[in-house]
Structure 1
Amino acid sequence: MSQPTSSLAVIRQCLQSGQQPTYGQLRNLTGLSHKQVQRLLGQLKQQGLPIQEHRIGRKRIFSLPTDRQYVQIPTLDFDNSELRALAIAAKASRSVLAGTPHFEPLKRAFDKLLERARPVTYVFDLEEPLQEWHFDNSPADLIALENFRALEAAMDERQSVQINYHTAKTGTDSVGRKIDPYCFVKRGRAWLLIAWCHERRAIRNFGLTRISQVVPCPENYFEIPDDFDPTTYFWASMGAINSGEVYTLRLLVEPEKARYFHERQYHSSQQIETERSDGRLVVSYELEGFEELRSFCQSWGVGITVLEPAELRLRLRQEAEELIARYQND
């Protein structure tokens, strides 16, 4: 009687540690037959353990949802500078992850760390850095947490999914659109999903707020290409949109706005080409996403003049003329 009980605990511990064993690996781990392992898995399910199953080729893989996996970390030694950095990083991370399923788990994890560290932090109060640092807590766009979780699970499993998606630019809805989810990206307030779209046969950005349903595709798995790099993918984008067409943006910056371009790099491609004697600057960029270029330039009002591209100058002039006409009518 002791052998099955012991093997039951071994399998439970294996799954709770985050491993994804096959039948063969569980047989080797317990020394039991295929049928005995199968019976123990059934017992664990009856006890309420949410064991998940999927196949890779002919192999059946077993796992637990991430929120049912537990990792015990041995005793670690931290000096006070490391603890201080962890306290600040935890607060910064909570700001970034607000609105996602990871916000509350991160808070619980850091509370555990604080509770463990507090009795031995004599040199400084661990709560102090949290008062000295402030991070932007403006809310991100609202997303459906169940969709976030489903997409993250699909990423972990490298499993294709079908989504219902609303394309804001065209006002159209896609039902059952098959994608391979690669990674999440936060750009400003917006959470995006970068994925391979089977319909377009290309990598696309999907706004998480516009995904209304996520359904896993059974037996459909993928591999992320070795040459895919999110940093490279967004290198020319000032915001969330990747159009594939790169523009040379050149601005004439008025003297009262020049200091901001000296103090801040608004994009990695920013170059100050000329500093004129009257205090104006000529600043250039290599960017994609025409609408985001337009929005960026409009945000500066009369503080900048677009020198190129010509189509952006024309668009801004047309919009300015329309605004003048509206206010004249008033």
Structure 2
Amino acid sequence: MPGGAKKDATRGLRLNKIIDRLNKKTPYGGVTVKELAEMHEVSTRQIYRDLNAIENGLHVPLVRKQNGRTMQVCLEAGYLPALSPEKATIVYLSMLQQKGSALSGHLNEIKDALIATLFRYHYDPRELAVEKLQKRIHFVEESLTGPEKVAALFATLVNSIRDSHRVKIWYFATWSGQQSERVVEPYGLICKHNNWYLVGRCLKKNDIRVFRVDQIQDVLAYATEHFLYPAGFSLAEFMASSWGVINDGKTCLVRLKFNRQVAHRVKNVLYHPSQKLETELPDGSAIVTFEACGLDEMIGWLSQWGDLVEVLEPRWLREKMRMLAEKMAQVYEKD
């Protein structure tokens, strides 16, 4: 019947508006039944029926708190961000970038929870279309051989950072090829090119150190050993001058000449916060400057450009690149 269909549509709209109101008010303790009744110009009895429909029909768990004669209602799951199908798709595709990284352990569970939440709000699955998009978008990234194990360690580190617990880590150092045991006060995590690093004070070295998470073999959280996060420490400031993830305290001015074939890249991409375009030369090449520390990490980046970039300053870095080029040439001269 047309009248019945219109009535059902009106009620369905009201249920969605009630859920939306509960979502917005849950962080502040919820909303009263009386407030919902006045908002929708229906009786409180009708609101109670609507709340039952939301719980039993739409499977959205609610928490009801009786305060005298007032009934306060909120979402059991807490605040749910208001996402359109388009935004939800972007969130999901962003998650896919972490596939094969330390964050990949629960990606499928998160995806399912995201889709389930959207369907509760009556979004059309054809509009979301995450499965279809997933098949037509491909990420070319390095991936860990054992992401599930690293994800479990990562979760322990995050909890220890949150609760300011010391951790014991078994760490494999690339430079020495050996594993060592360290007790660390974890200050925070940084991410570069989908690789995660732990920053914290190493009690063994009594200094701040950076540990690549996927090279941590195991983690033990000392739940009874708390530490005080240093009041004057800022993770962003600590990493501000670093070229990569290492802060060795030796900030240096670097001048590079980029061939005209790649000059447009350094005009469009900011590789470091200190990056400045110094000069554009008549032949189309460009001289770019950086002020950074941890320049040993820059050497690997420079080698990727091959003969398309030339180190002008500092002299010692220019010499290192020349020696590296000679070593590479010797490798390929062998027959």
Q: Which digits, 9 at most, give the CA deviation of each residue in 1:208-237, with x for residues without a partner?
A: 122122122252101322333332222222
Aligned partner of 1:113: which letter? T
1:111 maps to 115
The structure 2 residue matched to 1:324, chosen from 325, 329, 332, is: 329
RMSD: 2.9
Aligned partner of 2:168: which letter? Q
CA contact (8 A) 2:92 2:130 kept: no
Aligned residues: 255
Match of 1:125, SS state, is helix
Indicate the structure (1 or 2) with the bigger Cα radius of gyration: 2
* More displaced stretch, 320-329 vs 254-263: 320-329
* More displaced stretch, 287-296 vs 238-247: 238-247
The structure 2 residue matched to 1:268, chosen from 266, 270, 273, is: 273
Correspondence 1:202-221 to 2 at 5 A: 202-221=207-226
CA contact (8 A) 2:210 2:246 kept: yes
Q: Which digits, 9 at most, give the CA deviation of each residue in 1:239-277, with x for residues without a partner?
A: 233323222111111111211111211222110101112
Aligned partner of 1:148: which letter? F
Change (3 A) 1:156 1:97: farther
The structure 2 residue matched to 1:150, chosen from 148, 156, 160, is: 156
Change (3 A) 1:150 1:120: closer
User: Within 2, Cα distance between the matches of 1:140 and 1:289?
Assistant: 25
* Structure 2: runs of 5 or more not aligned: 1-74
User: Within 1, Cα distance between the matches of 2:241 and 2:233?
Assistant: 15
Match of 1:225, SS state, is coil
User: Within 1, Cα distance between the matches of 2:299 and 2:81?
Assistant: 51
The structure 2 residue matched to 1:138, chosen from 138, 141, 165, is: 141
Change (3 A) 1:129 1:236: farther
Aligned partner of 2:286: which letter? L
Find out whether 1:304 has 2:306 as its counterpart: no
2:77 maps to 72
Q: Which digits, 9 at most, give the CA deviation of each residue in 1:270-289, with x for residues without a partner?
A: 10101112222110111222
Change (3 A) 1:138 1:221: same
Instruction: Note the C-alpha offset of 1:130.
Output: 7.0
Instruction: Note the C-alpha offset of 1:293.
Output: 1.2
Match of 1:256, SS state, is coil
User: Within 1, Cα distance between the matches of 2:99 and 2:236?
Assistant: 19
Aligned partner of 1:136: which letter? F
Q: Which digits, 9 at most, give the CA deviation of each residue in 1:69-112, with x for residues without a partner?
A: x952478766xxx4422321232034236442342342232122
Instruction: Note the C-alpha offset of 1:129.
Output: 10
1:166 maps to 172
Give the 4+ runs in structure 1 shifted more than 4 A: 74-78, 132-135
* Structure 1: runs of 5 or more not aligned: 1-69
Find out whether 1:85 has 2:101 as its counterpart: no
* More displaced stretch, 85-94 vs 96-105: 96-105
Find out whether 1:242 has 2:247 as its counterpart: yes
Change (3 A) 1:134 1:222: farther
CA contact (8 A) 2:88 2:128 kept: no
Aligned partner of 2:279: which letter? T
1:59 maps to none
Match of 1:92, SS state, is helix
Change (3 A) 1:282 1:137: closer
Counting aligned pairs with the same residue, the percent is 24
Instruction: Note the C-alpha offset of 1:159.
Output: 0.9
